[in-house]
Structure 1
Amino acid sequence: MQKIVDFIKMSFNTKDFIPLHEPRFIGNEKKYLNDCIDSTFVSSVGKYVDIFEEEFAKKVGSKFAIGTVNGTAALHVSLILANVEKDDEVITQPLTFIATCNAISYIGAKPIFIDVDLGTMGMSPDSLVEFLVKNCEINGNKCINKTTKKTIKACVPMHTFGHPCEIDKIKNICEEWNITLVEDSAESLGSYYKGKHTGTFGKLAAFSFNGNKIITSGGGGVIVTDDEALAKRAKHITTTAKIPHPFEYVHDEIGYNYRMPNLNASLLVAQLEQLEKFLENKRDLANKYQEFFKDIPNIDFIMEPENTISNYWLHAVLVKDISQRDDFLSFTNSNGVMTRPIWKLMNELEMFTDCQKSNLKNAKYLEERIINIPSSVRI
């Protein structure tokens, strides 16, 4: 274990404490932030919101981008736009951050958990097909769960740690079963599957700019879509559904105070300018980790899956011997190197224990063995 700690500290060129993933503000962040403050437009109206949305859409190859206050809000609204309603069901994966299931639950819908693939850590297309064939039928152009009699409206796969899942196969399955595909791309800015950016396969997608993401505004998110009508409605309901007017306050439906403040957007415009540099830096670290862990018995470094370019947001290793995991975590954290286990499976949390699920053997295998190691951009 000491060898691992020494290598990580050498890679970051420090003997001090190394966090898991800290932000880097090395560009125009202070310049744009001061400009935003001087303009007095610090809330949800301001030029940086417009600039960010335009530049982000270009970056990922979508037609529209709508900034939100955080990634969970982006996913919540995306599901509303996908016509998910109370008592509907949404297929997702158990190996994900809680925000995925929280967004589903805010609507009053219920998640169904489908197993992941070992190679991607994302939703398994084979498990998805198996579940649908066994449990569902198409009735009146709706996907009906024969067990619960409820409608499955959406499917939310997640690109785990920035590694794309087999999203094209999932898209085809969703189209066959009349299920709307909404990508949880919170972790995957800068990641590509077969040459196409994540978040552009589904009808809608959500990205996150939390403080630990590859670019950050402290808090922030964005919805992307190619559907102009959905983009306009996203802007409308994330700004309290207020009808535009010089002075009247009229709202035409239940809306949300979810729009991204101009302050956050000013940071993101500067962070986007650094994205390619960040991606290159993180890929270099991934290559160093891969080479190092080749010589460490019973520990594999997680590399990008086939047909993908990963952003390597969070680097991860798989400890083959379960008994080693806690020793790894205890030793590294006690010696100034922050490491963390992967999330507890969603179906094991009290709120979701009664949710329908497929055989989750791969998700459980990964939950017991995956460890995140320091992943910050090195300066």
Structure 2
Amino acid sequence: MRKQWKQIAEDIRGIHGANDFLPLHEPTFSETEVEYVSDCLRTGWVSSVGKYVDEFERRLAEYTGVRRAIAVVNGTAALHIALKVAGVQANEEVLMPALTFIATANAISYVQAIPHFIDVSEETLGIDPKKLEEHIREIGIIDKGQLINKVTGRVIRAVVPMHTFGHAVDLDPLIDICERYGLVLVEDAAESLGSYYKGKHTGGFGLVGALSFNGNKIMTTGGGGAILTNDEKLADYAKHITTTAKIPHRWEYRHDEIGYNYRMPNINAAIGCAQLEKMNHFIESKRLLTTRYQQLFKKIEGVQLLIEPSFGKSNYWLQTLLIDENTHARDSILDILNGEGVMARPIWTPLDQLTPYADCPKADLSVTNLLNNRVINIPSTPLQGEYHG
């Protein structure tokens, strides 16, 4: 096994043309980012007001096909505000996958709601709609038009699907469930900029959605995120409360509610504008990398490269291996790859196993628990030398 995976590490390095340590995902920049950031520095507009913030929001809305995009400081802040403007209240439950980055649950906690963990599909690594409906039928009752968890007595307000590693969740049945049970759909699209479900960009199916532009995402603003919505009133409200809820005035400081200092700085938005111009290249390069990984792993027994579902087009943000459940080899493979200078990591620990969320309500998580020991992410930076813009 060690000899085989040392060779795989060498092959992965060869695909990326790497001579030194090969990270999981690096940002890709060109002179355009330097030009736009330099413009911010020359003009002095580096903070939360400036032309690049407005331009980035406009371009982002156009790219994702939604009416409005509100740029904020990071993806967690975006999801926090998305939940707030969607009407999630304190002591209500929010249905979400147990297999996701902790920020999804943290954002729910920020509005003082309670995460309620649902199992995932092996096809997408996101919420399994069939198991979600089975769980709702088991624990839910409708009372005065609201879905109630009959075990806890709390209102179940929303569903938050997360498009894991850029692979779209099967949204149509989730939308149907939300409509039948009176639930709000809030998309955690932090990882899926450039991904589509049946031809429509992710993040625009729910009442609101959230994106992330962290340094390791498919495109970055250094740090940053965005709220997506087709509801103009919600967009205006989101923009208002992410700007400390300050009432516009030429000189007075008046605030009409508790707000948040979440607005994206102009200098970050400048990087975002430049990065958005390269999105088509990033996607093409990611898909080329997928093809090369498919050729590499098709001959490796007990290993499967995760491929986009039939109903979606993935941005392939993080390339993902599924290890045969009978090999119990995940940690050994991680040890070999990282020892050979090829960064690899497991999927997140299921959130119900973490101390802050151990007492949250949950459904049967059998698939989540199996995947926890089977998933490995491998280097996913867009191939170098493919872009000269």
What TM-score do the two structures reach when normalised by structure 2? 0.96
- Which residue of structure 1 lines up, in the alignment, with residue 111 of structure 2? 107
**2:34, 2:104 → 1: CA distance?**
32
Aligned to 2:370, what secondary structure does the other structure show?
A: helix
- Aligned pairs for 1:54-133 (under 5 A) are 54-133=58-137
Q: Give the conservation status (yes or no) of the 8 Å contact 2:99–2:348.
A: yes
**2:245, 2:280 → 1: CA distance?**
36
**1:138, 1:28 → 2: CA distance?**
54
Equivalent in 324, 340, 346 of residue 351 of structure 2:
346
What's the offset of the Cα at 1:145?
A: 1.2
**2:222, 2:102 → 1: CA distance?**
19
Q: Give the conservation status (yes or no) of the 8 Å contact 2:328–2:373.
A: no
Q: Which amino acid aligns with 2:19?
A: K
- Which residue of structure 2 lines up, in the alignment, with residue 5 of structure 1? 9
Equivalent in 31, 45, 49 of residue 45 of structure 1:
49
Residues 1:323 and 2:328 are matched in the alignment = yes
Q: Give the conservation status (yes or no) of the 8 Å contact 2:117–2:360.
A: yes
- Aligned pairs for 1:187-206 (under 5 A) are 187-206=191-210
Mark the CA change 1:130 to 1:285 in structure 2 (over 3 Å): closer, same or farther.
same
- Which residue of structure 1 lines up, in the alignment, with residue 387 of structure 2? none
Aligned to 2:159, what secondary structure does the other structure show?
A: strand
> In terms of mean alpha carbon deviation, does 215-224 or 166-175 score higher?
166-175
Q: Give the conservation status (yes or no) of the 8 Å contact 1:64–1:231.
A: yes
What's the offset of the Cα at 1:306?
A: 1.2
Q: Give the conservation status (yes or no) of the 8 Å contact 1:52–1:269.
A: yes
Equivalent in 271, 290, 293 of residue 294 of structure 2:
290
Equivalent in 365, 369, 372 of residue 367 of structure 1:
372
Equivalent in 253, 269, 276 of residue 272 of structure 1:
276
RMSD: 0.8
Q: Which runs of 4+ in 1 moved over 6 A?
A: none
What's the offset of the Cα at 1:39?
A: 1.7
Q: Which amino acid aligns with 1:312?
A: Y
Gaps of 5+ in 1: none
Q: Kindly provide the CA deviation profile for residues 107-128 of structure 1, in whole angstroms up to 9, marking residues without a partner as x.
A: 1110000100010100010011
Q: Which amino acid aligns with 2:194?
A: G
Q: Kindly provide the CA deviation profile for residues 216-275 of structure 1, in whole angstroms up to 9, marking residues without a partner as x.
A: 011000000000000000000000000000110110001000011101000000000001
Q: Which amino acid aligns with 1:116?
A: V
Aligned to 1:92, what secondary structure does the other structure show?
A: strand
**2:119, 2:31 → 1: CA distance?**
41
Residues 1:233 and 2:237 are matched in the alignment = yes
**1:175, 1:328 → 2: CA distance?**
43
- Which residue of structure 1 lines up, in the alignment, with residue 314 of structure 2? 310
- Which residue of structure 1 lines up, in the alignment, with residue 383 of structure 2? 378
Q: Give the conservation status (yes or no) of the 8 Å contact 1:96–1:343.
A: yes
Q: Kindly provide the CA deviation profile for residues 27-48 of structure 1, in whole angstroms up to 9, marking residues without a partner as x.
A: 5100000111112111111000
**2:144, 2:295 → 1: CA distance?**
54
Residues 1:258 and 2:240 are matched in the alignment = no
- Aligned pairs for 1:165-204 (under 5 A) are 165-204=169-208
> In terms of mean alpha carbon deviation, does 157-166 or 357-366 score higher?
357-366
**1:193, 1:20 → 2: CA distance?**
26
**1:146, 1:323 → 2: CA distance?**
38
Aligned to 1:84, what secondary structure does the other structure show?
A: coil
- Aligned pairs for 1:148-163 (under 5 A) are 148-163=152-167
**2:45, 2:28 → 1: CA distance?**
25
Aligned to 1:149, what secondary structure does the other structure show?
A: coil
Q: Kindly provide the CA deviation profile for residues 285-338 of structure 1, in whole angstroms up to 9, marking residues without a partner as x.
A: 011111211100111111111111000000010111442111110001011100
**1:348, 1:262 → 2: CA distance?**
39
Aligned to 1:323, what secondary structure does the other structure show?
A: coil
Aligned residues between the structures? 379
Mark the CA change 1:152 to 1:17 in structure 2 (over 3 Å): closer, same or farther.
same
**1:25, 1:173 → 2: CA distance?**
42
**2:182, 2:342 → 1: CA distance?**
46
**2:60, 2:176 → 1: CA distance?**
26
Q: Give the conservation status (yes or no) of the 8 Å contact 1:290–1:303.
A: no
**2:327, 2:168 → 1: CA distance?**
25
Aligned to 2:209, what secondary structure does the other structure show?
A: strand
Q: Give the conservation status (yes or no) of the 8 Å contact 2:97–2:117.
A: yes
Gaps of 5+ in 2: 385-389
